[in-house]
A and B are shown apart, each in its own frame.
Chain A
C-alpha cells in the first residue's frame, strides 16, 4: 500500500543572473547615498591617507568628503571657471586641480588659498597628476600639450607637443618618477619618459581616449575610448592584448578593485561593468540613474563612488559584517512550526517503552481535498487569493491534476458570479503566460462551454469575457509577428551558412537522395 502522492508543482527556472561569488561580493553594498553637486561630476579621487577622504570635482568647486559624511568636510572654490581633475598627492597633503581657464592650482589640503599657481597652458587643463617622487606635476591640456612642472620652484620643466588633439586623460607611473602616459582625442596613447625628448611608445586606440589606467605592476595599460576598453601589454612594446566591447555608449572612466583582480568601467550608458582581469569576462553589472562620468573605489572596496552628468554623486558603502549577521539572525527568528512541537527532541532513556507512531506526512490543503476526491473544494483552495497571486503555478498545477483525473469540467461548473469572476480574473492574468498556456487554454474552453448559457446575465462577467477576448486576439497577433521574425531570421541564417557538399559515395548503386545538401540546422524554437 503506497501513500498518497502529492500534486507535483513544477519548478520553473528563474530568469536572471546566476549567483556567483562575484555577484555575492558586489551585491553586498548598502543602498546608495546620493549627494547633489552643482554640476556634472567630472572627477573623484581618494586620498591614500587613513580616513580616506575623497575629492569630488564638479563645476567650479572641489569638495572633500569624509568616508561617511554627506556634507563636504572641505571646499575649494578659488576657480574662475570649471575645475577639472582634482587629485591628491600620495601623502594626502597636497591637492592639484586643472581649470578651464588654463591655470593649474596646487592646494594644501588644510588651507584654502592655492599654494602654487602654474601658468603656461593656453587652454583648459583636463589632466593633472603628481609624479611618484611627489616633487613634480603632470598636466595635460586642450592646447595639445602635456607638461611637467616643478613644485618647489613652480616652474615648467618640460613640454611635449606630440598629440594632435585635446589631451583628456593621463596617468603617472607609481614606480618610476619619470614615466607618464597620456591619452588624447587624436585616438592615441603616448608613453613619455621625462629624460627623453620624445615619446617612447605610441599606441593607437582608434577612438578618442577618455581614460587610461595602469595596473599596479605597470606591465599592463588599460585605455577607454568610444565603446571600447582596450588592454595593452607595455612590456611587449604596447601590443594590444584584449579589446572589450561591453558598453553601448562611450566608456568614460576606469578603475581597479583594491586587490587588482577586478576591473571596473563606467560609461555614458549608465552602467558600471566589472570584469575579471584573468579572462576579461563581465562578472557583474551596476545600473545608475544617469550617464556616468567618474568612478572611484575606496581602498578595500569599502565604498563605490560614482559621479554622474546630472550632478548627482552616488556613494555605496559596503555592508559591515555585523549587519550581515543581523540579517541572518532575523531569518532564523521566524517561527517554524515543527520546532515547537513538544517533546520533539526527547531522547528515549534505557528503560522507556517506545510506542512507535506512524509519521504523518504533511499534505497541502488542496492535496488533502484531492485525496478525498473533493474536486471543487480543491480548486477553490487553489484559487485562494494569495495563492492565485503569489504562486499561480500551484493553481495551474491543481487544474492540470484535475484535468488528468478527467474532472476539471465538474470542478469548474456550478460557480456563482463572484466565484466565476475570480476564475476569469485568474485566466486573464495568466492565460498568455507561456508556462501556463496549455493548461489554461483547456480550462478557458471548458468555462466558455459551461457558462455560455448565462452570458449576458451579469455585467461583471460579461466585461471580463470581453477583456479575455481582447487579450487572446492581441496574443494571436503577437505570436504571428514573432513567427514572421523567426521566418526572417531563418532565411538570414540559411544564407549566412556556407553550403556544404555531402560526400557522395562513389558506388554504382543509385543513391538518389544523397545529392541533396543538408538543410541548415538553423535555430529551432525550443518549447518551454
Chain B
C-alpha cells in the first residue's frame, strides 16, 4: 500500500445504519445511529444527514444518551473505547479506554458515572462467551482516560444489544440468553434465573430473542423465536413468578420496546409490521404494516412522540405517534446478494443494482445517497422465511438511457424456473421508468447475459441463456398511435453449446457470444456468423471488445487461467497470458480495461490497454475473496492528473463490489483535496433543519442579509473586511512557535490591509479607514502577544 500512496482504496455507499439501535435526542430533533466506524447524526424532521462523530477506529457497537446530560452521548466500539461526545457540535469530549472489544452499552439514570458494557469474558477471549460489566468512569480533566476497573455484573450473557435491559428506575437489569432469563437486583446484589423448557414438541421454539423492561412497573417483556411475547411479573422471588403470553408474530420477535410512560409495548419481526400492544388491555393491538423489510430495532424518543424502526434493508423509518411514517433514512441497500451487474444509468449517472427484494435501487455516487427504488417485480412481498421470491437477476440500460431491460426469476424447488423479461421505457413526464413489455418465459433456462446494442440507430437487446440459444429482441414498429412493444427478432445457436457471455463492440456492428470454448462473432445487421475463435482448453468466462483506438481487439477470459486477446482484423490471437481473470470491465471513455484476478483467497487488479504490453496500474491483494462486480463510472468533472499511475482514473472511476458486499473505489490525492474543499463550503448552521431547500435558500438569504447590512451601514463592511483575509488566518492559526518575529509579522500584516489605489470606491473614507485599521492592528498585536506569552 505504501508504494501506491497516491491511489487509495476507499469505501463508498455508506455503511450499515441498521447495525445497532438508533437513538433519538431529547428534543426529538436529531437521530443518532452507529454507522461503521462513526456515529451519524440525522435530522428527524427532514431525514437529512447533518454530520458524523468520527474518532473510533473500529466498528461502533452502541450509542446511548448520557443520562446526566442530554446534550451528550456515549458510544462504544469494538476498538475497546467508550467515547463521550457533544453531538450538536460533533466534538469529542472524552475517551475512556477499556481495553476489551465492547459489544453493547447500557446506562441508567440511577447509576450516574457508571456504564454497563458487554465484553468477552477475560479467560475466553476467543470463545463466544460474554459478560456484562459495570465500569466507573473516572472524573479527570484529560481527554483520554484509562478505565480499567471492571466489575462483573452478570456472566454468560448474549452479545446481542437487545438481550439486556434496565428495569424500573434502574433497580434491576434483565438479560436473556438461550432459554434463560436472568434478573439482577442491584440493591440486594442478587440474581434470579428463570428457565423455559426447550419445548421442541409441537414445533414451539421457546428460546429468548430480546427483552424489554417496563419503565414504571415491575414487568419484563421477552420476545421468543416462535413469535410469542411473554410478560413476566412478580419475579423478585424464585417460586411465585407469573407470566402471560401475547402471540401475533409468526416469525421470531426481533425487538421489543416500551414507550417511556409504559402505556404501550412495540414489537417487530420479519413480517415488517410494527405491532403496538396496549399495556393495560393486552389483547388490543394496532398495526403498522408493510414497512418494507424485517424490523431489527425499535427506538422511541424520550418524550414518546416519535418511534423509529431499523430495517434489515439498511433503512431507518421515523414514525409519528404510531400512525404515520414521517421520514425514511435509507442507506445503500445491501441485500443478501447482488445478482445484477453494477450498472451506471446513462441519464442520472446513478449506480444501479439490486435493492430491496424485487427492486432496483438507483444510488447517486456523487451525493452518496439513494435516489429511488424501482419496483421491478410488482408483487406483494410476503415476509416469510424459506419462501422462494422473485429476484431481479439481470438489468441493462440502452446507450441513451431510454430503455431499461430487467430479468427476474424464481426457482421453485423441484418445479420449473419462472423467468420474466421486462422492458421499461423512460417517461420524461414522471421522470421514471414505465413498464412497456413483459415477456413471460423468454428462454427455457437461466439467462446468463443481457446487453443492449450500443449503436444509436437501433435499439436491440440480446439475451443469452443456458438453453443453448441467444435471442435478439427488437422494438416492433410503432406506426400506430400507441408506442411499440418488443418482440423477438432472431434466435441463434451454435452446435447446441450453452452460451455463457456476450458482448457488443463499441459501435454495435459486431456481437460476440461465448459458447463454452468457442467465441462466435456475429453481425447484428444480417445475423451472419462472421467467424469463430477459440483457444482451448477452458470455457470462456467473460468477453469484451476494446474501445476507441483498440476497437480491433477482442478480449476473452477463460476458466483455465488464460486471458486471450484476438485481433479481429486478422482473426488471429494477438497475445495471451496465464491469468485467472474472473472479471473484465472496459472503461467506456478510454481504451483501458480492468481485469480482476482471484488468487489464493484474495483479488488482484490490473488495468491495461490491449495494445500495450505493460499494465497501467496493478494492485495486488486488493481485498479478500472474489470481486463480484465492477463498473467504470464516468466522472462529472475530469481530473487533471498528469502522473502516469493515476491517469487512468482521470475520466472515470472504478467501483467494485467485494464478496462481503462492500462497495469500494479508488481515490487519488487531488480528488480528496477537492472533496475536502467542497465539504467545507457545505458547512451549515445546524440550528436550522438542513434540507435541500435550506441549502439552496438559506445560503441565498444569508447573502441577501449581508448585502442589506452592507448597504445600510457602509462602515460595517469595512471593519469586517480584514477578518477574512489570508494574513489574519495565517497569523491566528499558525502555531506560535513557528511564527517569525512580531515586528516582521506586523509589517506583513499592515501591508495586507492596505487597499490598492485602483479601487476608487474606498478613497473617500480612506482616512477613516486608516484610523480604524490602526486600531485593529493594535488590537491584533495585543492578542498575538498574549497568545505567544501563554504558549
* A interface residues (Cβ-Cβ under 8 A, vs B): 1-8, 10, 370-371, 401, 404-406, 438, 442, 500, 502-503, 505-507, 509, 511-514, 516, 518-519, 521, 524, 526-528
Question: Does B290 count as interface, using CB distance less than 8 angstroms?
Answer: yes
Residues on A with beta carbons closer than 8 Å to the beta carbon of B531? 502-503, 505, 514
Least Cβ–Cβ distance between B465 and chain A, in angstroms: 11
Given contacts A507-B570, A512-B536, contact A4 B387 (CB under 8 A): no
For the complex of A and B, 6 pairs with smallest distance between CB atoms: A505-B571, A507-B572, A527-B441, A524-B491, A5-B380, A514-B532
Stretch of B493-501, B728-736, B757-765 on the interface side: B493-501
Bound form: Cα–Cα A6–B379 in Å: 7
Bound form: Cα–Cα A503–B572 in Å: 12
Q: Mind listing 26 A-B residue pairs with CB under 8 Å?
A: A1-B288, A1-B289, A1-B325, A2-B292, A8-B379, A10-B440, A371-B380, A404-B382, A405-B382, A406-B384, A442-B415, A503-B530, A503-B531, A507-B570, A509-B572, A512-B534, A513-B517, A514-B533, A518-B529, A519-B493, A519-B494, A521-B490, A521-B491, A521-B493, A526-B488, A528-B441
Q: Mark B512-550, 1 if CB is under 8 A from A, else 0.
A: 000001100000000101111111100000000000000
Given contacts A513-B534, A514-B532, contact A5 B378 (CB under 8 A): yes
Q: Mark B479-504, 1 if CB is under 8 A from A, else 0.
A: 00000000010111111100000000
Residues on B with beta carbons closer than 8 Å to the beta carbon of A371? 380
Bound form: Cα–Cα A5–B357 in Å: 14
Least Cβ–Cβ distance between B614 and chain A, in angstroms: 24
Residues on A with beta carbons closer than 8 Å to the beta carbon of B570? 505, 507
Bound form: Cα–Cα A371–B390 in Å: 19
Asked if residues B378 and A8 are in contact (CB atoms below 8 Å), the reply is yes
Interface residues of A, dominant DSSP: loop
Residues on B with beta carbons closer than 8 Å to the beta carbon of A513? 495, 517-518, 532, 534
Bound form: Cα–Cα A371–B388 in Å: 19
Q: Which of A1, A3, A516 contacts B495 (CB 8 A)?
A: A516
Question: Does B196 count as interface, using CB distance less than 8 angstroms?
Answer: no
Q: Which of B290, B529, B533 contacts A511 (CB 8 A)?
A: B533
Q: Mark B439-461, 1 if CB is under 8 A from A, else 0.
A: 01110100000000000000000
Asked if residues A438 and B416 are in contact (CB atoms below 8 Å), the reply is yes
Residues on B with beta carbons closer than 8 Å to the beta carbon of A1? 288-292, 325
Question: Does B506 count as interface, using CB distance less than 8 angstroms?
Answer: no
Q: Which residue of B lies closest to A19 (CB)?
A: B480
Residues on A with beta carbons closer than 8 Å to the beta carbon of B571? 503, 505-507
Question: Does B573 count as interface, using CB distance less than 8 angstroms?
Answer: yes
Asked if residues A5 and B387 are in contact (CB atoms below 8 Å), the reply is no
Q: Which residue of B lies closest to A367 (CB)?
A: B380
B interface residues, how many (CB within 8 angstroms): 47
Question: Does B410 count as interface, using CB distance less than 8 angstroms?
Answer: yes
Residues on A with beta carbons closer than 8 Å to the beta carbon of B292? 1-2
Question: Does B469 count as interface, using CB distance less than 8 angstroms?
Answer: yes
Asked if residues B572 and A505 are in contact (CB atoms below 8 Å), the reply is yes
Q: Which of A370, A500, A505 contacts B380 (CB 8 A)?
A: A370
* B interface residues (Cβ-Cβ under 8 A, vs A): 288-292, 325, 375, 378-380, 382, 384, 387-388, 390, 410, 415-416, 438, 440-442, 444, 469, 488, 490-496, 517-518, 527, 529-536, 570-573
Bound form: Cα–Cα A509–B531 in Å: 14
Q: Which residue of B lies closest to A12 (CB)?
A: B440
Residues on B with beta carbons closer than 8 Å to the beta carbon of A404? 379, 382, 388, 390, 410
Q: Which residue of B lies closest to A373 (CB)?
A: B382
Bound form: Cα–Cα A512–B378 in Å: 48
Residues on A with beta carbons closer than 8 Å to the beta carbon of B441? 527-528
Given contacts A370-B380, A511-B532, A512-B536, contact A4 B440 (CB under 8 A): no
Q: Which residue of B lies closest to A3 (CB)?
A: B290
Interface residues of B, dominant DSSP: loop
Least Cβ–Cβ distance between B357 and chain A, in angstroms: 12
Least Cβ–Cβ distance between A374 and chain B, in angstroms: 14
Asked if residues B494 and A518 are in contact (CB atoms below 8 Å), the reply is yes
Least Cβ–Cβ distance between A400 and chain B, in angstroms: 9
Asked if residues A2 and B517 are in contact (CB atoms below 8 Å), the reply is no
Least Cβ–Cβ distance between A451 and chain B, in angstroms: 20
Bound form: Cα–Cα A10–B416 in Å: 19
Residues on B with beta carbons closer than 8 Å to the beta carbon of A524? 469, 491
Residues on A with beta carbons closer than 8 Å to the beta carbon of B532? 502, 511, 513-514
Least Cβ–Cβ distance between A379 and chain B, in angstroms: 16
Least Cβ–Cβ distance between B487 and chain A, in angstroms: 10
Least Cβ–Cβ distance between A89 and chain B, in angstroms: 45
Bound form: Cα–Cα A503–B288 in Å: 66
Asked if residues A519 and B495 are in contact (CB atoms below 8 Å), the reply is yes
Bound form: Cα–Cα A406–B390 in Å: 13
Least Cβ–Cβ distance between A359 and chain B, in angstroms: 16
Least Cβ–Cβ distance between B29 and chain A, in angstroms: 23
The residue among B380, B441, B444 with the most chain A CB atoms within 10 A of its own CB is B380
Q: Which residue of B lies closest to A517 (CB)?
A: B529
Bound form: Cα–Cα A191–B292 in Å: 82
Residues on B with beta carbons closer than 8 Å to the beta carbon of A516? 495
Bound form: Cα–Cα A502–B571 in Å: 12
Residues on B with beta carbons closer than 8 Å to the beta carbon of A500? 529
Residues on A with beta carbons closer than 8 Å to the beta carbon of B415? 442
Q: Which residue of A lies closest to B442 (CB)?
A: A527
Q: Which of B384, B387, B390, B492 contacts A521 (CB 8 A)?
A: B492
Q: Which of A8, A502, A512 contacts B529 (CB 8 A)?
A: A502
Bound form: Cα–Cα A405–B386 in Å: 10
Least Cβ–Cβ distance between B358 and chain A, in angstroms: 10
Residues on A with beta carbons closer than 8 Å to the beta carbon of B530? 503
Least Cβ–Cβ distance between A194 and chain B, in angstroms: 49
Residues on A with beta carbons closer than 8 Å to the beta carbon of B289? 1
Bound form: Cα–Cα A25–B280 in Å: 74
Given contacts A2-B292, A514-B532, A519-B495, contact A406 B387 (CB under 8 A): yes
Least Cβ–Cβ distance between B655 and chain A, in angstroms: 29
Bound form: Cα–Cα A524–B489 in Å: 12
Q: With A404-B379, A503-B530 given, name 4 new contacts (CB 8 A).
A: A405-B382, A406-B387, A513-B495, A514-B531
Bound form: Cα–Cα A502–B534 in Å: 14
Least Cβ–Cβ distance between B179 and chain A, in angstroms: 29
Least Cβ–Cβ distance between B17 and chain A, in angstroms: 19
Least Cβ–Cβ distance between A490 and chain B, in angstroms: 12
Residues on B with beta carbons closer than 8 Å to the beta carbon of A514? 531-534
Residues on B with beta carbons closer than 8 Å to the beta carbon of A10? 438, 440
Least Cβ–Cβ distance between B321 and chain A, in angstroms: 14
Residues on B with beta carbons closer than 8 Å to the beta carbon of A438? 416
The residue among B288, B387, B496 with the most chain A CB atoms within 10 A of its own CB is B387
Bound form: Cα–Cα A401–B491 in Å: 31
Q: Which residue of B lies closest to A400 (CB)?
A: B418
Q: Which residue of A lies closest to B289 (CB)?
A: A1
Bound form: Cα–Cα A527–B380 in Å: 26
Bound form: Cα–Cα A4–B531 in Å: 52
Least Cβ–Cβ distance between A10 and chain B, in angstroms: 7
Residues on B with beta carbons closer than 8 Å to the beta carbon of A511? 532-534
Bound form: Cα–Cα A513–B535 in Å: 10
Least Cβ–Cβ distance between B772 and chain A, in angstroms: 57
Least Cβ–Cβ distance between A126 and chain B, in angstroms: 45
Least Cβ–Cβ distance between B167 and chain A, in angstroms: 33
Least Cβ–Cβ distance between B42 and chain A, in angstroms: 19
Q: Which residue of B lies closest to A406 (CB)?
A: B387
Residues on A with beta carbons closer than 8 Å to the beta carbon of B325? 1
Bound form: Cα–Cα A514–B325 in Å: 63
Residues on A with beta carbons closer than 8 Å to the beta carbon of B495? 513, 516, 519
Residues on B with beta carbons closer than 8 Å to the beta carbon of A442? 415
Bound form: Cα–Cα A509–B573 in Å: 8
Bound form: Cα–Cα A324–B289 in Å: 51
Q: Which residue of A lies closest to B418 (CB)?
A: A438
Bound form: Cα–Cα A29–B41 in Å: 74
Q: Which residue of A lies closest to B573 (CB)?
A: A509
Bound form: Cα–Cα A500–B527 in Å: 13
Bound form: Cα–Cα A1–B320 in Å: 13
